[in-house]
Amino acid sequence: MGSLNLKLEPVDLSHHINVKSKSRHPSPLKDIIKFMAYDGMISLAGGSGAGNRQLIQLAKELTEQVHAPLCEYECLLHPGNTNAWSKVVGLLCEDDDFVIVEEFTYPSAQALWIPLGIKAAPVSADAEGILATSLRELLENWDENATGGRRPRVLYLVPVGSNPTGISISAHRRKEIYAVATEFDLVIVEDDPYYFLQYPGYSPQGVDQPFKLKSTEEFLNSLTPSFLSIDTQGRVIRLESFSKTLFPGLRLGYFVANPLFTERLLRATEVETQDPAGLSQAFTLALFQQWGDDGYLTWLQKLQFQYKTRRDWLISAFYDQFTVVPAAESPVPTAQGYVACLEDKRSAKLLAIFSFTDPEAGMFVWSKFYFDDVPRFIELEGQALEDPEQAFAQELWEAMISERVLLTPGSYYHAWQGPDKMSTKARGADPRSAYFRFSFATPTREQIYEGVKRVSKVTSRFWKETI
């Protein structure tokens, strides 16, 4: 490790480190690693838990080029963002704490802390990301007696191409969120594996357009500034990943964070995972030495274009198989984005099947299905079930599987608020609706079109008594 000369010194955030992390001592075998930095030193003692020093230096150079942090920071390698988030939870959270998350969040991010008694404090979002006003309201009105826990001190976000919603937090919204974080003393964990997969919005004229290489400066200027780039107090922990930009099995990334935090994260790394796999480090280092930073950024532009192309295929398939209209002109004008409808041939009435927003990053389209016009749902609703929405969503999902098309149920992404808040009604979610996630990461164009055609077939069948 070793810090670059940066402008601002972080504020004291030591009170955020939990009891377990404060009690960690350096591994005796790793404590001598500092001597490896001496000029001419020949080590016969082993390796460093921090990872390859050349690769760490490359990570710092890339961080400077892309994010230009305002605060002093360190970089520390980790074996993928899921493990990195686990270490951050082990750094900041006590048992039975609350963590602020998006209304729909990555299930593996929750699965690791549910056994610790930790619960989610979800914040609603719009097309620009979580609402700073809702975040402020949550914190201002936090009642420790009613919730059974202290006010949350950690905000976990996937700010670009969020999994599952595909939402990217706008630059303006980030500033609003950061202002709330400083006021209420939050640590922002910026889990950002899709950062470089940002692309323009969907346009029918843009489908099948050839790739055009931008200059490095133009490419970087097209990316939304990260939370790290606006952090003036050292309260952002950024999780970077090569797994989504090189290949998933690499299991390699790095923390960018306040040195106070990376020192404690290193202590955890020394005894929990050691540094990432040597083969992954060697491969990545060799690639960077051959490509250079600009070569890597050129690769990212091409990768970005591939995901934009696949996004275009999926949305084009929606237009091909459904009547897609802006939400304001649809049967559900309160929806966000666009609504995919089927037409009642007898009345020419449009029936809302699902709404979606056009993702401008990542690899997912998040869809909200509407059940108001579905006879089978109305039948289930009349049976006084605890959660007719989930019961029908399950039937719909199983019907899609029977047609050999697989979507991810939205229930997988519900923020965990405890066993008493699992049903649609208990969560305060919108009635007569449920969510599904489309992924366009791996299928071919033909598979995407055929898959959406099968979704249309299944939904037509469930709405058949109306259409």
- Residue located via tokens 């995972």: 273
How far, in Å, CA of 338 to CA of 349, rounded? 17
How far, in Å, CA of 70 to CA of 7, rounded? 6
pTM of the model: 0.91
How far, in Å, CA of 451 to CA of 406, rounded? 8
Pairing type for strands 253-257 and 74-78 reads antiparallel
How far, in Å, CA of 437 to CA of 433, rounded? 14
CATH 3.90.1150 positions along the chain are 322-465
pLDDT value, residue 80:
85
Please, what's the largest Cα pairwise distance for the chain?
84
CA nearest 339: which of 318, 360, 320, 354?
354
284: Cβ contacts below 8 Å, ≥ 6 apart:
55, 242, 246, 250, 252
CATH 3.40.640.10 positions along the chain are 14-302
* pLDDT digits 0-9 by tens, 20-34: 877 776 666 556 666
- With bands split at pLDDT 50, 70 and 90, how would you rate the model's confidence at 2? very low
Mean pLDDT throughout 90-113? 94
Is the domain defined by 14-302 classed in CATH 3.30.565.10? no
- Nearest-10 Cα torsion for 296, 297, 303, 304: 160
| Whether pLDDT at 48 is above 80 | no
- Residue located via tokens 């914190």: 139
453: Cβ contacts below 8 Å, ≥ 6 apart:
317, 321
Mean pLDDT throughout 307-315? 97
Q: Give the pair of three-digit tokens for residue 124.
A: 């609603």
| CATH code of the domain made up of 322-465 | 3.90.1150
| Whether pLDDT at 327 is above 60 | yes
